[in-house]
């Protein structure tokens, strides 16, 4: 276990349109550049535990809060915020601006959950900048995956899904279960002019989030907290998922762009919110990848984290031996 790694430098980078992206660096300034992309969308860097998944003696560790969340400004919930200016292509462009600002030629990409989709999108647009890819709780956020996580997996948590659908049905926007996409109803409600509507919808959404990733954690206690971070999270998740992550064509139809890039894909067999078929299909389409399935874990776990650290060490060995 690596002790907590301190941030060495940080800043806000203007990227246009009034947006500023928070970035931070830690580890060895002369080490292998490694970029961490957080989950969500809208999850933020949080307490920075990602930093101890990479050896600070070997890596120049870089993290950023994606557009509209965390310490980046403005937040997606700010008055007058234009969600149409927050898409995957915008996030990829922001990453490129951070890379140039920090004078990084190439870097090893790390991504978790939604961050794995963003890492793939970036790598497909800028393969010449990618030394390798390490992904955990792998997603590609295409229509099949979004429908799975918002509709199909309700078969595992029918009580929670019924609450999710009932909230949308009672919101007065014309939604009826199985007649329209539930995620589109939530995206609409999360941008309602009434803050009470947005908060009630966000709470309903977070109840669902807590359940569909809970395999292996036992009972899900009722959520009593509500914060600006959760408002941002619910706003951005529903925005991105309702639009299939703005990826057209989707990730799996652009895999030719990643040929020759080494990758490690780490996933839990018990991840019902993202079945192992998702990383398996990605692995099948990516000759340069290895797939690690942890049989006893879900959307994260200690064994998966151990595999994550080991994968970064193996990639460092490969990169240093070039």
Q: Are the C-beta atoms of residues 27 and 51 closer than 8 Å to each other?
A: yes
Cis peptide before 251 (omega within 30 of 0): no
Q: Are the C-beta atoms of residues 282 and 289 closer than 8 Å to each other?
A: yes
Active site residue 271: yes
Integer Cα distance of 126 and 254 in angstroms: 12
The size of the chain, in residues, is 322
Secondary structure of residue 222 in the 3-state scheme = coil
Catalytic residue, from 38, 55, 94, 113: name it: 113
Active site residue 199: no
| Partners of residue 13 on adjacent β-strands | 21
Integer Cα distance of 104 and 89 in angstroms: 20
Q: What are the CA-CA distances from residue 188 to residues 65, 239, 266, 301, 319 (Å)?
A: 24, 8, 33, 33, 45
Rg (CA), the chain: 19
Catalytic residue, from 271, 273, 283, 315: name it: 271
Strand order in the sheet with 32-37: 7-16, 19-27, 59-64, 32-37, 107-112, 130-136, 263-268, 289-294
Catalytic residue, from 19, 267, 299, 315: name it: 299
Positions marked catalytic:
113, 271, 299
């Amino acid at each position: 276990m690596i002790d907590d790694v301190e941030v060495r430098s940080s800043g806000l980078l203007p990227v246009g349109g009034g947006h500023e992206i928070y970035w931070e660096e830690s580890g060895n300034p002369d080490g292998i550049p490694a970029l961490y992309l957080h989950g969500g969308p809208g999850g933020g860097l949080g307490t920075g535990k990602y930093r101890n998944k990479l050896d600070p003696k070997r890596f120049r560790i870089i993290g950023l809060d994606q557009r509209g969340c965390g310490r980046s400004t403005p937040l997606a919930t700010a008055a007058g915020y234009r969600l149409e200016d927050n898409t995957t292509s915008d996030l990829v462009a922001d990453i490129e601006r951070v890379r140039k600002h920090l004078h990084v030629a190439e870097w090893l990409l790390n991504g978790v959950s939604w961050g794995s989709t963003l890492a793939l999108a970036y790598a497909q647009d800028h393969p010449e900048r990618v030394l390798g890819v390490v992904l955990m709780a792998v997603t590609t956020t295409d229509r099949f995956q979004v429908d799975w996580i918002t509709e199909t997996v309700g078969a595992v948590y029918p009580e929670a899904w019924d609450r999710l659908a009932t909230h949308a049905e009672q919101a007065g926007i014309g939604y009826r279960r199985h007649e329209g996409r539930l995620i589109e109803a939530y995206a609409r409600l999360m941008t309602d002019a009434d803050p009470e509507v947005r908060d009630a919808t966000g709470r309903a959404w977070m109840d669902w989030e807590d359940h569909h990733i809970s395999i292996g954690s036992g009972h899900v206690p009722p959520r009593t907290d509500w914060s600006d971070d959760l408002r941002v999270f619910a706003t951005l998740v529903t925005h991105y998922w309702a639009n299939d992550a703005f990826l057209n064509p989707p990730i799996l139809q652009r895999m030719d762009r990643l040929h020759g890039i080494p990758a490690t894909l780490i996933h839990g067999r018990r991840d019902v919110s993202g079945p192992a078929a998702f990383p398996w299909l990605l692995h099948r389409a990516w000759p340069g990848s290895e797939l690690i399935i942890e049989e006893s874990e879900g959307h994260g776990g200690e064994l998966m984290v151990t595999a994550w650290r080991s994968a970064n060490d193996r990639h460092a060995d490969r990169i240093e031996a070039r």
